Structure 1
Amino acid sequence: MSRHPTRIPGATAAALLSLLCGCVKKSEYDALQVENQTLQTRVDETNHALVQSQADFSALQVQMRQYLTVQAQLQKTQQDFKVSQDEFTALKSRFDHFRTQHRTAMVGKRYAQLNLDDGKVLHQAEITAVSADELSIRHADGIAKVALAKSSPDLRMEACYDPQEASEKAREKTMAKSRETPARPSPEPVKAAPVPVPAPLPASPARSPVEALRTQLATQRQLLNAEYHELAAKNSAALRGVEWNSSQPEASPLLNSLSGSRAVLGISRLQVQRNAILATLQQLRELDPAAR
């Protein structure tokens, strides 16, 4: 509410002064004039303070509206993040199921010859077991356990090899072995020496946000690659000759050009996964501009 400064009209003030001049002494008149001037100054100061208060109140109202806008944006961002988390969890569950199926299907496969990354060649090879970090293979010269990291690109792709998963699996095996205490029979009834308890392995340091996003990005790309290969197997004629970038599947022309409009059931699902990868990549580049 705006208020106008309160002032005494000039004519009224002059009339009052004329009446006072006839009734009071000059000294009293001068004192009344000074008092009137003082009161008028206070009125002016009060009016100025009121105007300033109104301006401050208007500024506070603007800030309050801005705060409410930011709060609404934050709530929407939190909701979007929750939806993305749920979608990622669902995709991760599907990928885990897909990976388990692939590894199970590998058991029993036979190869006349297997060429490993370290140069070894296994003849008449048959896969007997597949885990996150290694393969068990029966071959012409016996049985071998081969680390997936040292097997071959084709075997790693077929087994959905994940370095992070393999590292965690190897750590679990090491800790399990460290808890085992081998029993050694003593040839003579001598006092058994105390068995030293192995020191526990140092806990792995908490992953930084960059490492967590890199792991999430790798998993999302593996999911997209697996989904594409499954779709290509069902639509081999429609997708024959299509270029696919396995290292950066989100950049594949199938998902980023007019070729993505092919009438193939499932392309839209691949594009949803592509969008999730792009969102993760954007978050990663905000922390690490060199990330790809």
Structure 2
Amino acid sequence: MSRHPTRSLPVTAAVLLLMGGCVKKSEYDALQIENQTLQTRVDETNHLLVQSQADLSALQVQMQQFVVVQTQLQKTQLELTQSQDQLKALKSQFDQFRTQRRSAMVGRKFPVLNLDDGKVLRDAEITAVSAEDVSIRHADGLVKVAFAKTTPDLRWEACYDPLEALEKSREKTLLKTRETESRLVREQASPPQSPAPSTAMPALNAVEILRTQLASQRQALNTDYQALAAKNPAALRGVEWNASQPEASPLLNTLSGSRAVLGISRLQAQRTAILATLQQLRELDPAAR
């Protein structure tokens, strides 16, 4: 019943003849080229789409990781804040405990009190306690002793801390320096009215004020240096320091003081202030040192 394949050849030939009569071969070739070009663009677009989807997936993974890191950071910041609050509360409790300990020492009596510096106080009674020293009334009078020179038991009872003592001493010295500077400014702004024969008195008064200010500034500089040396013992070991004229110490010189020790710049600023005061003093008293 099936037809022989060779009988379909005339039909195929007829179709080709019809197509050849409707479309030119050049136009057909152009359409084929355009079709191939479009197919290439479609393939490239599909490739770009696949690549973009891969990039999007990678970005989504990174975003998830970022969210995890951000959450962890927020948790860590919260823990840090809580730790800081706990530390602040503990410090407040310790300060209160230390104050109570020192207050409880007042009124304590000793038949004989042997100090670390070799002094012996008889019928001794503690009258006042601070971070730096203790006031003691004894058979021969009243004395104020630095805690470093008292006894291990007294230092333990008072929760003595050398750094705290240095800081308190520095604060007191700076306060005295500011008070002296303020008094000097007031006296210079409003010179006292005096008769002609005593015109030299204001100058003499200014000299004494400047000398007091210079001594306070030098004491403050020595105190800050001691605190810095306590914090940096290795870096400042063997450093030459002139306690009587600290502003002349080689450490504060711009060349020899170039070592990387945190706090040197503060000492150098104090040195500059001392030199300014010393220059004012020498204008009134050339022999001043």
TM-score by length of 1: 0.56
Could you say which residue in structure 2 is the equivalent of 1:84? 83
SS in 1 for 2:198: coil
Distance 2:26 2:175 in 1: 107
Q: Is the 8 A contact 1:127 1:137 kept in 2?
A: yes
Could you say which residue in structure 2 is the equivalent of 1:162? 161
1:8-60, Cα deviation, whole Å (9 max, x unpaired): xxxxxxxxxx7966642332222222111111110000000101111111111
Whether 1:43 and 2:42 are equivalent positions in the alignment is: yes
Ranges in structure 1 where 5+ consecutive residues have no aligned partner? 1-17, 212-292
Ranges in structure 2 where 5+ consecutive residues have no aligned partner? 1-15, 188-193, 232-289
Deviation at 1:99, TM superposition (A): 1.0
SS in 2 for 1:165: helix
Q: Whose radius of gyration is greater, 1 or 2?
A: 2
SS in 2 for 1:127: strand
How is 1:49-88 mapped onto 2 (pairs within 5 angstroms)?
Answer: 49-88=48-87
Distance 2:115 2:197 in 1: 50
Could you say which residue in structure 1 is the equivalent of 2:198? 190
What code does the residue aligned with 2:59 have?
L
Distance 1:54 1:21 in 2: 46
What code does the residue aligned with 1:64 have?
M
The alignment of Structure 1 onto Structure 2 pairs a total of residues equal to 188
Q: Percent identity?
A: 64
**Which sits farther off after the overlay, 193-202 or 108-117?**
193-202
Whether 1:142 and 2:157 are equivalent positions in the alignment is: no
1:42-84, Cα deviation, whole Å (9 max, x unpaired): 0000000101111111111111111111111111112112211
Q: Is the 8 A contact 1:104 1:130 kept in 2?
A: yes
Q: Is the 8 A contact 1:122 1:140 kept in 2?
A: yes
SS in 2 for 1:117: coil
Distance 1:123 1:79 in 2: 56
SS in 2 for 1:89: helix
Distance 2:121 2:127 in 1: 14
TM-score by length of 2: 0.57
Structure 1 residues 189 and 21 mapped into 2: Cα distance closer, same or farther (>3 Å)?
Answer: farther
